[in-house]
Amino acid sequence: MNLLVTGGCGFIGGHFLRRRLADPASPLRRLVNLDALTYAADATPLAGLPPDDRYAFVRGDILDRPLLDRLFIEHDFDAVVHFAAETHVDRSIDAPAAFLQTNILGTHQLLEAARAHLARLPADRRAAFRFLHVSTDEVYGTLGPDDPAFTEATPLAPNSPYAASKASSDLLARAAHHTHGLPVLTTRCSHNYGPRQFPEKLIPLVLLNALEGKPLPIYGDGQQIRDWLHVEDHADALWTILGRAAPGAVYNIGGESERANLDLVRTLCTELDRQSPRADQRSYASQITHVADRPGHDRRYAIDCSRLRADLGWSPRHRLDAGLAATVAWYLANRPWCDAITATRYARERLGRGA
């Protein structure tokens, strides 16, 4: 397989790359990582792995159609896994234009380049080609405390500019399949966590602020509920779907681990108390501070991934408490990685967002 991965220097894309290249059973002949290296990128997603002749990095933007056409011709891809996106809700509220450019217009350009490539393939390879579009549960909107979890049939009802841009890209992918026959697969995941996550996201934000003695800001009452999915489980689910799902399929991917934001932060504080106690022996939870709620803040997300379990036999392996403990340990052991990112590619004053 010749595989194009967009956004492979992002958190989820990087883990996908690492797991695929480290898998001795992987059928990869060539894996091309196309990434624009924006502020949240990890320029060395394969750090610590041995050099691999199958891997190639290309710095570029999915809005650059000539570049996309050249890559498809040069590497003759058998599949695309599309991670590249602007993803941070707070940033989308402050400045939505970048989200429209990358998430909507960029996805359009990539779909069109893939469609042109598909037309050049012989019939047997055309039948095997896949375009996997990676999306989010936030496109479904919000749930009440007793509502059933999102299924693949839940109507799209995005509430933030970020979620609206992702819902738009989902619909473009759907249209490319139904109108033009592009063999698209779409996945919608719950909140990811794990090692190497960019420090503006909730879990690394809390951990780094706690260790620096800063407030741990919680939006509103902190009772916003999220389902948490370990990034390695997500990466493995995507590989399963890419290899086995029928064109046009949509799958939810969840960790089956709902937790209120305030409870999650308290769990992280308890783990820090255990693994790296404060010098004054007080709990890190004493740093929790409630701040004004975010505009349009969704109250609850929950994922029903029973279709993925029934169709393809996938289920999450990581339990949340154990996964959080391992994640805390990773950040404690890798402070230089975090410091390098916050010092060179991220304004530290923005590390004050709430949960």
Q: Is 162 annotated as catalytic?
A: yes
- The pLDDT of residue 316: 97
Nearby residues of 318 by Cβ (< 8 Å), 6 or more positions away: 230, 232, 233, 255
Q: Tell me the C-alpha distance between 227 and 254, whole Å.
A: 7
Q: Is 212 annotated as catalytic?
A: no
- The pLDDT of residue 345: 53
| Residue 170 near residue 186, CB atoms below 8 Å | yes
- The pLDDT of residue 346: 52
178-237 tens-digit pLDDT: 999 999 999 999 999 999 998 888 999 999 999 999 999 999 999 999 999 999 999 999
Please tell me which residue in 137, 271, 298, 304 is annotated as part of the active site: 137
- The pLDDT of residue 252: 98
Cβ count near 225 (within 10 Å): 18
Tokens read off for 346 = 């991220």
- The pLDDT of residue 344: 60
Taking 70 as the pLDDT cut, the residues of the chain under it are 342, 344-355
Nearest one of 313, 247, 310 to 80, comparing CA atoms: 247
Q: Is 138 annotated as catalytic?
A: yes
- The pLDDT of residue 338: 83
Nearest one of 211, 193, 213, 210 to 202, comparing CA atoms: 193
Q: Which CATH superfamily is domain 2-200+228-259+300-320 in?
A: NAD(P)-binding Rossmann-like Domain (3.40.50.720)
Please tell me which residue in 86, 138, 170, 200 is annotated as part of the active site: 138
- The pLDDT of residue 307: 98
Please tell me which residue in 55, 140, 162, 301 is annotated as part of the active site: 162
Sheet holding 130-136, edge to edge: 55-59, 30-35, 2-6, 79-82, 130-136, 184-189, 250-253
